[in-house]
Amino acid sequence: MKRTDNDRRDFLKTSAAVAGSVAVLGLSESCTRQKDSEMVQILDQDGNIIEVRRDQVEETIKDDIRVREGMKNRKFVMVIDLARCANARKCVSACNKMHSASTPNDWLKVLKMSDSEKTAPYWQPMLCQHCDKPPCVKVCPVDATFKRRDGIVLVDNDRCIGCRFCMAACPYSARVFNWEEPSAVADVEHALESPETSWPPQKGTVGKCDFCPDVVEKGELPHCVTACPNSVFFFGDLYEDTVTNGSETFRFSKLIKDRAAYREMESYGTHPSVYYLPPSNRLYDFEEGLENYSEFKQDSLENTEQP
């Protein structure tokens, strides 16, 4: 199955390259209607060769620009209410399920935090902070990770060279690496190959939380937000000044003010898009979360050559 997958991907790449040159041809000459309706062969997502109109191929290339530009007139933010988090870990499992990832390659971790000996411990969901001044994007040599107009930071798995400089630059340890060929299986809905779905993960490239742009585009909330039984996560558009967890909707600025929100590692000047509400007046005892907690997980990667 793996093998055929690879072949398919390679084939897709070839056809994409062909499509690219076709499009350039089409753009350089003035496109007449006749030329537009000419048929070219291309591979569809189910692996069948199909014939499409040439102008549709151009559409795909425009799509790449759209993916890198992001949604116009939107700027997404997340608010995480630490007072409600009880380490239920439904966000982690939903995220892994929807992105065909698995532990220990979680894009979202619920960390057991304790800032100092005497201060109270708390649970902190940690994911990509989608910084406005993302250090990972700054250091990427090939523009494989990029910041969009709508605030979302994505990874182009087709371009990443696997240097891992972005992992070094990220102070939040939000990035994971595909050390081996990912064994992920696509869900029906996620077969679309795009940085917006982060699908498919590829060996030797990085991965991370993508704020689920494919569902956000449809007006739906990211999977971690909808999966959380304690309504910890709020998501919304900064321009609308509104965040929601599906059942409750707040004025973002008011929520931030009333609950004295903060951002993680503000002093680094990364300007994150994720805000945390401090764990005061908690809904759950910290101890409740210990049930689901273990500091370390089983190693699922093969590592036979240990000395």
Partner 1 sequence: MIDSNLVNDLKPRPFGLWGRIWTVVLVIMTLIGIWAYYRQIQDGLVITGMRDYAFWGIYISNFVFFVAISLVGSLVTAILRLSGAEWSIPLTRISEIIAVAAIIMAGLTIIVDMGRPDRLMNLFIHGRLQSPIIWDVIVITTYLFISLMLLYFPLIPDFAILKNEKGNPGWIQKGYKRLAINWNGSKLQEKLHQRGIFILSVLIIPVAFGIHTVTSWLFATTFRPGWDSTNFGAYFVSGAFVVGAGGVIAAMYLLRRHYQLEKYITDEHFNKMGKLLVMLCLVYLYFNLNEYLIPAFKLKKEEEIHIYSMLFGHYAPLFWSVIGFGLVMPVILLLFRKWRRPFPLFVISVIVVITSWWKRYLIVTPTLLHPSMPIQGVPESWAGYSPTWMEWAITLGTLTMALLIITILVRFLPIIPIQEFSDHMKKTSSHES
Partner 2 sequence: MKARILIFLVLISFTVEAQEEATVRLSLSYKMENQEAFLTAKARTRVGRRYENIHGLGILFYTVIDGDKKLLGDSNTNHSGEATMSIGDISTLEYDSMGMWHFVASVENKDGFRDVDEEISITPIKIDFKVEISEDSVASVRVQSRKSMDNGPVSEAEVRLYVSRYFAPHWLSEIEFTDDNGEFEFSLEEMLPGDLDGLVTLGIRLEGDDTGAVFHEEKVNYGIPYEPDTSFDERSMWAPANKTPLWLLVFPNLIILGVWGTLIYLVYYLYLISRSKQ
Q: Which residues bind partner 1 (CB under 8 A)?
A: 103-106, 109-113, 126, 135, 138-144, 159-165, 167-169, 171-173, 175-181, 202-206, 265, 268, 295-303, 305-307
Q: Rounded to 10 degrees, what is the CA torsion of 188, 189, 191, 197?
A: -150
Note the helical H segments in 217-293: 223-227, 252-258
Residue-wise DSSP of 186-200:
--GGG---BTTTTBS
Q: Are 82 and 277 in contact (CB under 8 A)?
A: yes
Q: Which is closer to partner 1, CB of 252 or CB of 276?
A: 276
Q: Which is closer to partner 1, CB of 49 or CB of 168?
A: 168
Q: Rounded to 10 degrees, what is the CA torsion of 127, 121, 275, 94?
A: 40
Choose among partner 1, partner 2, none what residue 221 binds, the Cβ cut-off being 5 to 8 Å by kind: partner 2
Q: Residue 274: enclosing H or E segment and its boundaries?
A: strand 274-277
Residues between 115 and 144 that touch partner 2 (CB under 8 A): 132-134, 137-138, 143
Give me the least distance between CB of 135 and partner 1, in Å please.
7
Q: Are 170 and 264 in contact (CB under 8 A)?
A: no
Q: Residue 49: enclosing H or E segment and its boundaries?
A: strand 49-53
Give me the least distance between CB of 30 and partner 2, in Å please.
25
Strands 233-237 and 242-244: antiparallel
Give me the least distance between CB of 274 and partner 1, in Å please.
13
Displacement of CA 274 from its chain's centroid (Å): 13
Give me the least distance between CB of 250 and partner 1, in Å please.
27
Based on the shown chain and the rule CB under 8 A, indicate whether residue 220 belongs to the binding site for partner 2: yes
Based on the shown chain and the rule CB under 8 A, indicate whether residue 229 belongs to the binding site for partner 2: no
Q: Which residues of 16-30 are buried (b: 16+ CB within 10 A; e: fewer)?
A: beebeebbeebeeee
Beta strand spans in 120-232 (E): 122-126, 145-147, 153-155, 176-177, 206-207
Choose among partner 1, partner 2, none what residue 236 binds, the Cβ cut-off being 5 to 8 Å by kind: partner 2
Mask for 249-288, x = binds partner 2 (CB under 8 A): xxx-------------------------------------
Contacts of 16 by beta carbon, 8 Å cutoff, 6+ apart: 60
Which span sits near partner 2 by CB under 8 A: 20-28, 85-93, 188-196, 288-296?
Answer: 188-196
Mask for 3-22, x = binds partner 2 (CB under 8 A): -x---x--------------
Return phi, psi of residue 262, to 5°: -140, 165
Give me the least distance between CB of 12 and partner 1, in Å please.
16
Choose among partner 1, partner 2, none what residue 191 binds, the Cβ cut-off being 5 to 8 Å by kind: partner 2
Interface ranges with partner 2 (CB under 8 A): 4, 8, 45-47, 68-70, 73-75, 132-134, 137-138, 143, 146-149, 151, 185-189, 191, 219-221, 235-237, 239-242, 244, 246, 249-251
